[in-house]
């Protein structure tokens, strides 16, 4: 079973027409966009979003992405996308669950891993910078 993480955010997305193919099923590449929407909501919850990261001198590129498709989403379907913070001390690992908002049926699960990179030197850090650790601690209940 996937870790639920220490903190999560649920985001709702209504599948737009421009995300689907001729069968009205979401094209597989658009799921990455849905993950990004949920990840941004999670970072906002931490009060340390991408603009804050950049201002603190660090970029956080995605270095790993895993997706498992169970059932395709369709045009007009309301999706619930849960982003759960699983790791943060050495890297950011976020688990995702995309489900049908009405029934709760699981459609897709995913995870991403991001690492801190010092913007000035372009060096990857082996541990999360203190500013990120502080943001997580502050956001915990």
Query: What pLDDT was estimated at residue 120?
Result: 97
Query: What pLDDT was estimated at residue 141?
Result: 80
Query: What pLDDT was estimated at residue 4?
Result: 78
Residue ranges per domain, the chain?
A: 7-139
Picking from 29, 27, 34, the residue whose alpha carbon sits closest to that of residue 10 is: 34
- Any idea which residue has 């908002």 for tokens? 101
Widest pairwise Cα distance in the chain: 48
Here the tokens at position 110 are 């995913």
Q: What is the pLDDT along the chain (141 residues), one digit of tens a residue?
A: 577 789 999 999 999 999 999 999 999 999 999 999 999 999 999 999 999 999 999 999 999 999 999 999 999 999 999 999 999 999 999 999 999 999 999 999 999 999 999 999 999 999 999 999 999 999 998
* Inter-residue contact 133 to 91 (CB < 8 Å): no
pTM for this entry = 0.94
Contacts of 114 (CB under 8 A, 6+ apart): 60, 61, 62, 63, 91, 92, 94
Cα(85)–Cα(112) distance, integer angstroms: 10
Query: At the fourth CATH level, which superfamily is domain 7-139?
Result: Hotdog Thioesterase (3.10.129.10)
Per the DSSP assignment, residues forming a β-bridge with 64 are 113
């Amino acid at each position: 079973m996937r870790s639920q993480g220490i903190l999560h955010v649920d985001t709702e997305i209504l599948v737009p027409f421009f995300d689907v193919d001729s069968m009205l099923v979401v094209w597989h590449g658009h799921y990455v966009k849905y993950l990004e929407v949920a990840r941004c909501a999670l970072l906002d919850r931490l009060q340390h979003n991408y603009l804050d990261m950049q201002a603190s001198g660090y970029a956080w590129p995605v270095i790993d992405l895993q997706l498992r498709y169970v059932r395709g989403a369709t045009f007009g379907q309301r999706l619930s996308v849960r982003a759960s913070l699983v790791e943060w001390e050495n890297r950011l690992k976020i688990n995702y669950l995309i489900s049908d908002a009405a029934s709760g049926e699981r459609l897709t699960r995913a995870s991403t891993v991001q690492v801190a990179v010092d913007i000035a030197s372009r060096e990857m850090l082996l541990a999360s910078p203190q500013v990120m650790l502080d943001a997580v601690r502050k956001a915990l209940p």
